[in-house]
A and B are shown apart, each in its own frame.
Chain A
Amino acid sequence: MFFLINKLVMNFDAPSPWGIYFQDSATPQMEGLNELHDNIMYYLVVILFAVGWILLSIVINYVSTKSPISHKYLNHGTLIELIWTITPAVILILIAFPSFKLLYLMDEVSDPSMSVLAEGHQWYWSYQYPDFLDSNDQFIEFDSYIVPESDLDEGGLRMLEVDNRVVLPELTHVRFIITAGDVIHSFAAPALGIKCDAYPGRLNQVSVFINREGVFYGQCSEICGILHSSMPIVIESVSLEKFLIWLKEQ
């Protein structure tokens, strides 16, 4: 069964049909999220079966036809009520500690080597590389629009491909500065473990350190209007040499 689940779940850097698990992680943040999820899932499975079994047992043993007067003796129990109130509270606290630890770790922006400004618009993203100048001595900047289905190349992902990808070097601390030009959007790339709201007039930031080369797909994750589903995000991680070549071409 697990083999089947492994085959069915998403194993790419983009969503896959009927995918029920995370995409393969490409940043330390996403590794942490995966680990936290699986740790919590272990305890959830234990709780699910314990509660499920006891529920089943109660339904079977205390059905009115089998125990016609069970209500007479089983209508109050201080000890058991204390147990089933305190135990979940303790479990929630145990889950909260690693969760907060990861949350604050992810919030750290550790000395970025470069920054990328991502600005959400109805309905496209525009990007600026404020650390680099193009041949006209202007900051490198471009808009990134969805590629419509009719223009997709063979193998292209429907509703996910864009005309201009964000190109980033692997193994480099990159800071995304995220904002919006009109309404609230959200910049998200699941394989990189980033999701950050983009507000007009406000700068948010997230840090990424991409472990490997790849093309990572994301979508706007805040309902922003009628074409909310048509402003995908594509981040291409390349080696430093390839990144320098790309920079030179701008």
Chain B
Amino acid sequence: MASAAVAPAFKPITGMLRRGLILDLSIGLGLGFVFGNAFWYGYHMPRVNARDAYYRKLEEARAARQGN
């Protein structure tokens, strides 16, 4: 004898995984980009600028030596 489907007493809890995944990815990638940018602008760029300034100075000194 087939029994009729019984409606659940409360709405099933669905979509938690997807919501959690989106939240976790957002936080993880957000943190990643924050620290990645900190590395880039806090470490890489100052080194590149210092290097460029050094070679600029060197070029000026070379030009001055050659009397240009």
Contact = CB atoms under 8 A, between A and B. Distances in A.
A61 B24 CA distance: 11
Contact of A46 (B20, B29, B46, B58): B29
A238 to B, nearest CB: 14
Contact of B24 (A43, A47, A57, A74): A57
Contacts of B44: 38, 41-42
A52 interface: yes
A226 interface: no
Q: How large is the interface on A (under 10, 10 to 19, 20 to 34, 35 or more residues)?
A: 20 to 34
Interface string A66-91: 00000000100000100000000000
Contacts of A48: 32
Interface in A46-68: 46-54, 57, 61
B22 to A, nearest CB: 12
A100 interface: no
B39 A42 contact: yes
A245 interface: no
B27 to A, nearest CB: 6
Interface string A23-42: 01100000000000010011
**SS of A interface (majority):** helix
Contacts of A2: 38, 42-43, 46
Contact of A5 (B17, B20, B32, B43): B43
B56 to A, nearest CB: 12
Nearest to A24: B51
Given A50-B28, A50-B29, A74-B17, A43 B36 contact: yes
Contacts, number: 59
A99 interface: no
Given A24-B51, A45-B36, A46-B36, A212 B25 contact: no
A122 interface: no
Interface in B25-68: 25, 27-29, 31-33, 35-36, 38-40, 42-44, 46-47, 51, 55, 58
B58 A212 contact: yes
A6 interface: yes
A211 interface: yes
B40 A53 contact: no
B37 to A, nearest CB: 8
16 contacts: A2-B42, A2-B43, A24-B51, A41-B39, A43-B36, A45-B32, A45-B36, A45-B39, A46-B29, A46-B32, A49-B32, A49-B35, A49-B36, A53-B31, A54-B24, A80-B21
Which are the 10 A-B pairs with shortest beta-carbon distances? Answer: A53-B28, A46-B32, A49-B32, A50-B28, A2-B42, A45-B36, A49-B31, A38-B44, A57-B24, A46-B36
